[in-house]
Structure 1
């Protein structure tokens, strides 16, 4: 079934391409092609350098090979709000209707229950969604490989800059959109909400060979955390404090197990003393800062001021 859907979606594929995609041997591909032919599927091979396996023109298979779990999962792979922001809400709705029509009656009833019981809401709590008036234009440039001239508001001076970029992808992270684009031969990341204007330019560009958006994003996040967390705080936490720490700061590294008093000493990557101060104060009496000394002194000064304020 996987091979059949691959050929239906991509057209001609060599035995090696099929083997790599399906993570099987070329011998297995040869065997499975024979099995498809024996089952009446019109798949045939074309010899030569540009040859490969393909389906007879016009052949389409109905999605009768999907299991219940597979059919249901297809209706959980998209975030409706994200599709709407990209201008694809109508297309997603139409695609889901077509998919339902292609499914057998039994599976059709099961997937109809998905929208009634599951709703995906990407943005985090207590944060308004970004205003992204230029997202649709940027998405069109990504899809059609058009360069774009963007006016961008950045943190460093000069704050407002203009540059021509080659958009390679868009990422939705915690309800915020980010553009991954090539400029001067280097890939850079731009928060779409900080794009002040976007002009899609004529012509097309060649995408970077071997570029994988998901791989780039994982590397970018890792490097971002390394640049951001330039210091380490050593903190003692009660059991309750250890539970509450999750979601406030970067993952903590325990120095060992809990002591006799039930408290655990951990090392926490932090951006700066100013940034860590309010976050650690949220833990109240369930946390004691041991280092750096400046952070500990700032905690003491803050608590002293609060004590004086409340009498």
Structure 2
């Protein structure tokens, strides 16, 4: 998937269908001059329904659908005939989509399961026909109920990427390179910061035909929790990952300090992120000789509070061991 095709934020206006009117028809037939009321009920207006689809990874298909309307219910007619129900409209969304009220920014609902259906705008009920209102004192009621009006609202769809492993790191830490090595994904790779502007997903093939999903999320900068850099735009994607893989380059000035800054940004954005399992991968370790690596190990054993490993995506060092560690954590 190319970067431009990854759409994770869409605003739209949805409107259900209004209910049909009940009929005020009075039965008339040869030899039956006053047959009494027989007006049918109006049909229900169509719903606007959100449906989870596990085959979708992005909101691209909704990018230009800004107005969605369901069908109106048909009016009732003679012979107690009920009007036709308005046509429901289904909006397929990827799993991990959060729907907010655009005005208040409050979360209305979330779609997390395949084929899960949730009504976002309910169709109006049809009005009752005049035959419902006949009584011993009013045998020919000449009134019926109008249909209930439609419901409309402005909503915002936000996608939070669902992945087993999320890559967390500063810009240019080597996240895209690692993803391209362990999966078939083809993320944009270059030697400047913020090469990745949208999350990239890849499926990691493991032993015995097992797989898990890895997400390369745009680089974090200090202050991201307050919206600096790409801020909240990408931090929300980390919320839905089971394991956080912190990627810190071997040539960083202070590996432990970088880890703490990244962790602090996650904590300030959402403290629940700290409940996830974490592992640190020291990337670009092909730049280190054995002596430097030994020195670094002594330092990290003392300072880093979580497991760490040395890897090199370019030299393919430690990649299998990393997959083993991730698989063990996932299971």
Please give the TM-score of this superposition, normalised by the length of structure 1. 0.23
In our comparison, the structure showing a higher alpha carbon Rg is 2
Greater RCO, CA 8 A, separation 6+ = 2
* Structure with greater helix percent: 1
